[in-house]
C-alpha cells in the first residue's frame, strides 16, 4: 500500500522530522496515516495533536480525509486549523480577544483605499495597488522586518511608509488588528508569559505542518516556542513549490530546518504517482537551475511515457489554433475537456483565451476570471449596494451599507456610524436627516428591483456613475475602464431574475472554487465538461491528464517585474509547479511576437531542452 519512504514518514514517532514531498508523492496520505499511527500505535491522545495548514480549505479537506480514515471516533478530537485560526484561538482563550476586533480582508482593503485617496497616491488600478500594499504589509509583519528599511514592490518608498504608518494608526484608533497582527500578538504573548506558553505546550505535544515551504519567520518562531522542549514537530513540504514569496513565504526556512533541529530525521518521498518520467525529467532540468534549494530526485510510478510537446509559433493566433487542434485530438482519445487545463502566468490572459475557444465552440471553465469580474473596485461597490439592500432591516446599517455610504460622497463618517453601533436613529441625530433618508430611499428602491434595473438605478438614481467620473479624474485613470467593469456586471446579472438569485450564484461559485474548479483526480469532471483555464498560481495542488502552458515567453514567465536572483528563482518554481500539474500530456508553447513586437522565448523553456 505504501512505498518505503512513505512508511518511514508514517512510522516516525518522536522528535523533529522533515518530509520532502514533491509533486504527486502522496503527502496528504502520509500526514493522515501518521496521525492515525500516533493515536493507535503510540497511544498519543488525539487532543494533543495539532495539524496546521495554510488555508481554511486545506484544513477542512484534511480533517475530512482523516475523519473518514478513522471512521469518526477519537479522530474528531485532533485539532486541524490554519496558522491564523490556531494562533487566534490562543489569544482568545488567553487574552479574551473578541472576533469583532479582527479586521476582515474587505475592511482592510477599505481602510487602505481611504488612506491611498487621502495621500493622493495615483495608480491605473487602485485594486491592484491596494492588494500589493496588503502583501507588502503582510511581508513586513510576517517576517518581522523594519518598515523603514523595507523596499516595497507596490509604490514609492516614501508613499508606502506614509500608508503603512497611517494604516497602523487607524487600526490602533479603532481598536482593531489584522490577521498579521494576530501572529505578532500571539508571539509576544508566548514570549512574555511562560505560564500560558506551558499550558499550550502541554496541550499540543505533537505538531504537524503541511506545505511547510510557505511558512514565514514569525510563524516559525511561534511554532518553535510551542514545540519546545519535546520538539515533536513534523513538517511536510517541497521548497521547489514555494510560490508565495509576494505574501511573505520564506522557503529558506525549510532549507534551514536542519539548522533549527540538527537531530531532525530527513525523509524524501521520491515516488511521483502523478506524472510520466519524461515530465518529471523536464521539470527536473528546469528546477535544478535554482541555487537555493534542497537536492531531491523522483521517479515515476506512471507506466505511460509521452514526450512533452514544446513548440514556438509566429503569434498568439497561430498558437491558440494549434491548442484547439490538440484539444480535439485529446478528445478523440477519450480525454474529456474537464481533464485538460490551459495554464497562464497572469489573470489578464484568461479572457482572451476563453473568448478564442468559445468562438470555436469549446466551453471553458475560467472560474478565476469569473471571480476577477467580482474582485474589481466597481464590482465590490455594486455588490455592497445589493447585499446591503437585501440585508437591510430598517433599524441598523450593515457592513455593506457602510462600505458604500460615501459612494457618492454623503459626508457621513464611517467611524461615527460605528461609534453608535450602526443605529440609524442615532446617526440621524448627528447628521442631516435628509442625507440619511435619501441614502436609505435608494436602498429601498434597489431591493425592490430586478438585477438589471437595480444596476441601472445604482448608476443613475443613486449617483454612482457620477462618483466614478470624479474618482477617475482625482486618480488620473481612464473612465472607460471603470465603465467596462460596470458593463460586465450588467451582462452577468442579466442571467438572473432576482437579486437574491444573482448573489446566491456568486456566493455558491466562491464557496465551491477550488472544489469543483479543476478536480484533483483525473476523471472527476462530472457533467461540467469544460476545459480549465487558470493561472499557474491557481493550479497549485491540482492535476490534469493534459496540460497546456501558453505564452511561455520572457517578460511573461518570468515576469518583467523579476529583477533580483530570488525573483527569478521564484518564477522558476512557479513554472515548475505548472509543468508538474500534467499527468500524461504536457504541451509548452511560446510565440515569436506579441502585440506586433518581437518577444523572446522564456529562459525556462530553454532549460527544458
In three-state secondary structure terms, 272 is strand
**Domains recognised in the chain with CATH numbers:** 4-91+187-273 (3.40.50.300), 101-174 (1.10.10), 299-363+529-608 (3.40.50.300), 377-513 (1.10.486.10)
In three-state secondary structure terms, 162 is helix
The number of CA neighbours under 13 Å toward the Cβ of 232 is 20
Query: Which range is least confidently modeled, 106-120, 134-148, 319-333?
Result: 106-120
Query: In the prediction, which pLDDT does 525 show?
Result: 40
Q: How long a stretch of residues is the chain?
A: 609
24 is in an annotated binding site: yes
Give the largest Cα separation in the chain, rounded.
75
Cell triple for 169: 494608526
**C-alpha triplet 534, 587, 533: angle, nearest 5°:** 15
Position 507 pLDDT exceeds 80: no
Per-residue pLDDT, averaged over 530-552, amounts to 93
354 is in an annotated binding site: no
Closest to 588 measured CA to CA, from 541, 561, 556: 556
511: confidence class by pLDDT, cuts 50, 70, 90: low
CA torsion sign for 370, 371, 375, 381 is positive
276 is in an annotated binding site: no
Position 513 pLDDT exceeds 80: no
Helix H segments across 72-178? 83-95, 105-118, 126-142, 157-174
CA distances (Å), origin 255, targets 238, 404, 409: 10, 46, 52
120: confidence class by pLDDT, cuts 50, 70, 90: confident
Position 436 pLDDT exceeds 50: yes
Position 126 pLDDT exceeds 80: no
237 is in an annotated binding site: no
CA torsion sign for 24, 26, 28, 31 is negative
28 is in an annotated binding site: yes
CA torsion sign for 168, 171, 172, 177 is negative
Position 207 pLDDT exceeds 90: yes
Query: In the prediction, which pLDDT does 518 show?
Result: 41
Cell triple for 458: 445604482
With contact defined as beta carbons under 8 Å apart, do 573 and 283 qualify?
no
Query: Which range is least confidently modeled, 37-46, 95-104, 176-185, 464-473?
Result: 95-104
Query: In the prediction, which pLDDT does 526 show?
Result: 41
Position 523 pLDDT exceeds 50: no
Distance between CA atoms of 38 and 49, rounded to whole angstroms? 9
Query: In the prediction, which pLDDT does 453 show?
Result: 93
328 is in an annotated binding site: no
Distance between CA atoms of 288 and 335, rounded to whole angstroms? 32
Strands 593-594 and 597-598: antiparallel
Identity of the highest mean pLDDT range in 5-14, 126-135, 174-183, 396-405:
5-14
Q: Chain-wide mean pLDDT for the chain?
A: 88
Query: In the prediction, which pLDDT does 98 show?
Result: 76
Residue with grid cell 481611504, as numbered in its chain = 114
Per-residue pLDDT, averaged over 134-161, amounts to 89
Position 598 pLDDT exceeds 80: yes
Per-residue pLDDT, averaged over 490-517, amounts to 72
Position 329 pLDDT exceeds 60: yes
Per-residue pLDDT, averaged over 11-18, amounts to 96
27 is in an annotated binding site: yes
**Residue 340 phi, psi dihedral angles, 5° rounding:** -120, 155
Query: In the prediction, which pLDDT does 19 show?
Result: 97
Position 473 pLDDT exceeds 60: yes
Query: In the prediction, which pLDDT does 508 show?
Result: 64
With contact defined as beta carbons under 8 Å apart, do 516 and 528 qualify?
yes
142 is in an annotated binding site: no
Query: In the prediction, which pLDDT does 524 show?
Result: 42
Distance from first CA to last CA of the chain, Å, rounded? Answer: 35
Residue pLDDT, tens place only, 266-305: 999 999 999 999 999 999 999 999 999 998 888 998 788 8
Query: In the prediction, which pLDDT does 113 show?
Result: 83
Closest to 336 measured CA to CA, from 527, 512, 541: 527
Per-residue pLDDT, averaged over 327-337, amounts to 95
Neighbours of 129 (CB within 10 A): 21
248: left (phi over 0), alpha (psi -120 to 50) or beta: left
Closest to 463 measured CA to CA, from 542, 536, 419, 407: 407
Query: In the prediction, which pLDDT does 23 show?
Result: 93
Position 320 pLDDT exceeds 70: yes
Closest to 211 measured CA to CA, from 352, 50, 27, 477: 27
In three-state secondary structure terms, 95 is helix
Query: In the prediction, which pLDDT does 480 show?
Result: 82
Amino acid at each position: 500500500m505504501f512505498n518505503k519512504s512513505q512508511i518511514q514518514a508514517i512510522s516516525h514517532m518522536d522528535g523533529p522530522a522533515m518530509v520532502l514531498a514533491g509533486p504527486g508523492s502522496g503527502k496528504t496520505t502520509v500526514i493522515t496515516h501518521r496521525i492515525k499511527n500516533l493515536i493507535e500505535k503510540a497511544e498519543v491522545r488525539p487532543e494533543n495533536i495539532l495539524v496546521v495548514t495554510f488555508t481554511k480549505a486545506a484544513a477542512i479537506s484534511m480533517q475530512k480525509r482523516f475523519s473518514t480514515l478513522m471512521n469518526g471516533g477519537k479522530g474528531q478530537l485532533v485539532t486541524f486549523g490554519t496558522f491564523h485560526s490556531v494562533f487566534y484561538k490562543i489569544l482568545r482563550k488567553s487574552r479574551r480577544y473578541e472576533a469583532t476586533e479582527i479586521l476582515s480582508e474587505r475592511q482592510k482593503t477599505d481602510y487602505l483605499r481611504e488612506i491611498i485617496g487621502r495621500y493622493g497616491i495615483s495608480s491605473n488600478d487602485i485594486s491592484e495597488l491596494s492588494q500589493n500594499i496588503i502583501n507588502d504589509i503582510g511581508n513586513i509583519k510576517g517576517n518581522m522586518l523594519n518598515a523603514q528599511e523595507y523596499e516595497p514592490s507596490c509604490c514609492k518608498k516614501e508613499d508606502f511608509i506614509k500608508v503603512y504608518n497611517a494604516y497602523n494608526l487607524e487600526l490602533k484608533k479603532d481598536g482593531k488588528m489584522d490577521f498579521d497582527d494576530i501572529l505578532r500578538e500571539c508571539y509576544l504573548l508566548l514570549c512574555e508569559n511562560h505560564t500560558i506558553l506551558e499550558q499550550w505546550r502541554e496541550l499540543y505535544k505533537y505538531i504537524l505542518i503541511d506545505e511547510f515551504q510557505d511558512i514565514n519567520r514569525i510563524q516559525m518562531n511561534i511554532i518553535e516556542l510551542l514545540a519546545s522542549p519535546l520538539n515533536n514537530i513534523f513538517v511536510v513540504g517541497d521548497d521547489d513549490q514555494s510560490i508565495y514569496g509576494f505574501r511573505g513565504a520564506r522557503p529558506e526556512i525549510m532549507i534551514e530546518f536542519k539548522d533549527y533541529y540538527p537531530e531532525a530525521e530527513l525523509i524524501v518521498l521520491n515516488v511521483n504517482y502523478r506524472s510520466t518520467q519524461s515530465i518529471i525529467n523536464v521539470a527536473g532540468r528546469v528546477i535544478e537551475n535554482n541555487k537555493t534549494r534542497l537536492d531531491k530526485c523522483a521517479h515515476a510510478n506512471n507506466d505511460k511515457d509521452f514526450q512533452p510537446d514544446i513548440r514556438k509559433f509566429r503569434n498568439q493566433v497561430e498558437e491558440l489554433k494549434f491548442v484547439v487542434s490538440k484539444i480535439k485530438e485529446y478528445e478523440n482519445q477519450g480525454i474529456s475537456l474537464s481533464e485538460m487545463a490551459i495554464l497562464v502566468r497572469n489573470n489578464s490572459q484568461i479572457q482572451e483565451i476563453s473568448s478564442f475557444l468559445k468562438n470555436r465552440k469549446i466551453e471553458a471553465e475560467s472560474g478565476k476570471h469569473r471571480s476577477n469580474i467580482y474582485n474589481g473596485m466597481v464590482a465590490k461597490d455594486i455588490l455592497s449596494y445589493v447585499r446591503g439592500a437585501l440585508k437591510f432591516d430598517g433599524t441598523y446599517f450593515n457592513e455593506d451599507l457602510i462600505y458604500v455610504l460615501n459612494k457618492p460622497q454623503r459626508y457621513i463618517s464611517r467611524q461615527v456610524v460605528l461609534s453608535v453601533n450602526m443605529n440609524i436613529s442615532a446617526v440621524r441625530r448627528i447628521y442631516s436627516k435628509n442625507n440619511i433618508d435619501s441614502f436609505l430611499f435608494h436602498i429601498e428602491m434597489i431591493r425592490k428591483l430586478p438585477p438589471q434595473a437595480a444596476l441601472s438605478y445604482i448608476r443613475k438614481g443613486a449617483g454612482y456613475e457620477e462618483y466614478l467620473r470624479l474618482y477617475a479624474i482625482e486618480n488620473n485613470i481612464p473612465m472607460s475602464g471603470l465603465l467596462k467593469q460596470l458593463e460586465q456586471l450588467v451582462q452577468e446579472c442579466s442571467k438572473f431574475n432576482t437579486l437574491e438569485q444573482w448573489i446566491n450564484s456568486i456566493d455558491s461559485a466562491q464557496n465551491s472554487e477550488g472544489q469543483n474548479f479543476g478536480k484533483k483526480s483525473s476523471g472527476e469532471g462530472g457533467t461540467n465538461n469544460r476545459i480549465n483555464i487558470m493561472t499557474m498560481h491557481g493550479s497549485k495542488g491540482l492535476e490534469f491528464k493534459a496540460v497546456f502552458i501558453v505564452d511561455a515567453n520572457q517578460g511573461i514567465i518570468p515576469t518583467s517585474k523579476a529583477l533580483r536572483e530570488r525573483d527569478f528563482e521564484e518564477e522558476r518554481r512557479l513554472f515548475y509547479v505548472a509543468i508538474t500539474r500534467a499527468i500524461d500530456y504536457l504541451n509548452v508553447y511560446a510565440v515569436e511576437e506579441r502585440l506586433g513586437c518581437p518577444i523572446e522565448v522564456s529562459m525556462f523553456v530553454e532549460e527544458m531542452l
